[in-house]
Amino acid sequence: MLTKTEVAARTGLSRSTINQRIDSLLDTRLVTPSGAESTKGRPAESFAFNRTGGHLLVADIGATGMRVGLCDLSGTILAEVELTIPVTEGPDIVLGLVGDEFVRLLEGAAALPDSVVGIGISVPGPVDTASGQVVHPPIMTGWDQYDIPGWFSRGYDCPVIVDKDANAMAFGEQQVSHPEVRHLLMVKVGTGVGSGLISDGRLHRGADGAAGDIGHNYVSKPAYVRDEPECRCGNIGCLEAYAGGWAILRDLQALGVDADSVDDAVRLLRSGNRDAVRLARNASQLLGEAIAVTVNLFNPQVVVIGGQLAAADDYLFAGIKSAVYRRSLPLATRRIQIVGATQGKQAGIIGLALLVAQSVFSHLPLPMLRPTTADRVAS
């Protein structure tokens, strides 16, 4: 809560400008009066951000499943659900399921669709951030150039933000767990391998949204490999083709190990299966060498490792840290921290909610927030 005098002291704006802007924020219901604070003279009215003035809908879509959430305007998760569905089912089926869950979440909160002021969708593929379309995704069959924002615009009159999943995770981890860190590298090791970059406190997407695609960097063939593996993107020798969850699963199955999913591979690792441990240790060295290249190029303060395979941190982190310190310059590693993700499966929807809120609030004129069901009842 702040009074107009406190706002003036923090911003240096004139009293008339503050009055004008607070009146505008009151009209849009982004700010509400929050009582009066006692002073020596007349009580000064204070104002607060109205986090309940609308809703954000988010869906973090992965290779084999998704998390769908309803959030308030501060990005706090009000309700969420986890679902299993392969992204290869295609956009109509997957987005149809997302749309159904959005309706259920709103109904569960006794909220109407017109209370939604922003929607965020993350996907496991490269996204043209200007159009919100996926471009030549290696694993997202049928999604190329699909109009994701347009699909949701049929039922909601609000901005729709689309980004890759590693970017959403990077923003969520930085904002919640490392808010003081200005330069952060997030590496997601799940079914595939991806990364997101926070540069000077902002999500760095590059010129077209392609920044941070570490999983499809070429890796020199290790001595223990006979033939360079083909990646799902169609190239040969990508990092992901050696160290992604799908690649480890492929190699386990080739050895006759009973494993049908990346979660099965993680369970084998935790149980100490020799084949799984060996493959994970090999993968960790290659991941570390790829991360070291990025550390030399980008010089992050913190490297966060997340995703399904990060749950087997005993077998990944030692190899990653060893390779990073061995292959990176001393100045780049002098103060670096290599840590595990702390937000778990919620990192993506937290990051999405905060990205959507940031987008909605940074575009002027601000959208008029619609009354929620609770507001109607109260009035």
In this predicted model, what pLDDT tens digit does every residue of 222-272 receive, in sequence order? 988 889 999 999 999 999 999 999 999 999 999 999 999 999 999 999 999
d(CA 317, CA 322): 8
Q: Which helix (H) or strand (E) covers residue 83, if one does?
A: strand 77-84
Residue count (the chain): 379
Question: 6-15, 134-143, 284-293, 318-327: which range is least confident on average?
Answer: 6-15
**pLDDT number for residue 15:** 83
DSSP alpha helices (H): ranges in 154-238? Answer: 165-177
Three-state secondary structure call for residue 149: helix
Position 141, amino acid: T
Provide the pLDDT confidence category of residue 38 given band limits of 50, 70 and 90: very low
**pLDDT number for residue 46:** 82
pTM score over 0.85: yes
Residue 377 has pLDDT above 50, yes or no: no
d(CA 307, CA 166): 9
Residue 364 has pLDDT above 50, yes or no: no
Residue 66 has pLDDT above 70, yes or no: yes
d(CA 182, CA 191): 28
DSSP alpha helices (H): ranges in the chain? Answer: 4-11, 15-28, 91-108, 148-153, 165-177, 239-243, 245-254, 262-270, 274-298, 313-327, 330-333, 347-362, 373-378
Is-contact 241 248, C-beta < 8 A? Answer: no
Average pLDDT of the residues in 116-142 = 93
Average pLDDT of the residues in 38-63 = 79
**pLDDT number for residue 83:** 96
**pLDDT number for residue 43:** 57
In this predicted model, what pLDDT tens digit does every residue of 324-358 receive, in sequence order? 999 999 999 999 999 999 998 899 999 999 999 99
DSSP for 243-268?
Answer: HSHHHHHHHHHHTT----SHHHHHHH
Residues 6+ apart with CB under 8 A from 212: 166, 167, 170, 194, 195, 196, 197, 204, 206
